[in-house]
Amino acid sequence: MSTPHYHHLQQYFSDLITSQQLVSGSKLPSEREIGEQFKFTRVTIRQALKNLEAEGLIYRQNRRGWFVSPAAVIYHPASHLSFNLYVTEQGFSPSTEKLAQQIEPANERIAQLMNIPVGNPVLYLHRRRYIDQRPVLIEKMYINQNLLPGIEEEDLTESLSQILKRKYQQEYRDMDLSFKSTSLPAHAANDLGIAAGQPGLQIERINYTSAKQVLEVDYEFWRHDAVTINIAIRD
């Protein structure tokens, strides 16, 4: 068994995709159909498909089938561009859906960061963001409402940075970022409509005001194939 069977399959689909014979968003044949064509069992087929998924070439949506992944969007946190803006600039079509919004007591980490007592109210916002109709990102944010009174009355599917600018004359400035490549937690995988345990990218982002106060703490859960992160460090 010099090269395993799934490797040939992988190569076959990989070639179809890179040569654009299978284009972004198109559906692959079903696992059983592929099995008939190549005379392999589903176990072998699935091994190949999962490897292609790990490479970021294809993805699956629930029980609907396997699809060719669109190109990854480039996220450039230091540019302070909003999701809507940078996705649009790169030729994709963004959208945002609000899944939950509520006032919550701050947990220990949030309280410490925002320098408020544990249990004090913060605004919790839970959103799902799409690129070209594909859900790619779950966002859970904790917003310091002391600094942004009345923000809960705004349309929170909008870009937060725009609301900040318009209503509060504030802008994103300093931030602390933390990235980890790991599988998506069950809640995020669920919200994205994918099986638990898929690889993903987790980001914690802490946004500060110009006065170094914590404006907002953001947890992002990305499909791993949907994003590349670019950062320029200039001392």
Partner DNA sequence: TAGTGGTCTAGACCACGAA
Partner DNA sequence: TCGTGGTCTAGACCACTAG
Identify whether the C-beta of residue 129 lies closer than 8 Å to the C-beta of residue 83: yes
Closest CA to 9 of 197, 43, 224: 43
Residues 6+ positions from 191 with CB-CB distance below 8 Å? 99, 128, 135, 138
Where helices occur in 77-131 by DSSP H, the ranges are 83-89, 108-114
Residue 33 is a binding residue for DNA (CB under 7 A): yes
Nearer to a copy of itself, 3 or 133 (CB): 3
Phi, psi of 26 (to 5 degrees): -75, 155
Hey, CA dihedral for 56, 98, 103, 169, is it positive or negative? positive
Residue 180 is a binding residue for a copy of itself (CB under 8 A): yes
Give the one entry of DNA, a copy of itself, none that residue 70 binds, where binding means its C-beta sits below a cut-off of 5 to 8 angstroms depending on kind: none
Q: How many residues bind DNA (CB under 7 A)?
A: 26
Among 19, 62, 133, 169, binds DNA (CB under 7 A): 62
Residue 195 is a binding residue for DNA (CB under 7 A): yes
Q: How far is the CB of 104 from a copy of itself (least distance, A)?
A: 25
Give the one entry of DNA, a copy of itself, none that residue 228 binds, where binding means its C-beta sits below a cut-off of 5 to 8 angstroms depending on kind: a copy of itself
How many whole angstroms separate alpha carbon 140 and alpha carbon 219? 5
Per-residue burial over 41-72, b = 16 or more CB atoms within 10 Å of its CB, e = otherwise = eeebbbbbbebbbeebbbbbeeeeebbbbbeb
Nearer to DNA, 10 or 82 (CB): 10
Q: How far is the CB of 134 from DNA (least distance, A)?
A: 13
Q: How far is the CB of 55 from DNA (least distance, A)?
A: 15
Give the binding range for a copy of itself (CB under 8 A) out of 19-27, 118-126, 145-153, 194-202. Answer: 194-202
Tokens 């284009």 correspond to 23
Give the one entry of DNA, a copy of itself, none that residue 65 binds, where binding means its C-beta sits below a cut-off of 5 to 8 angstroms depending on kind: DNA
> What does the binding site for DNA look like in residue numbers (CB under 7 A)?
1-2, 4-6, 28, 30-33, 39-44, 46-47, 60, 62-66, 193, 195
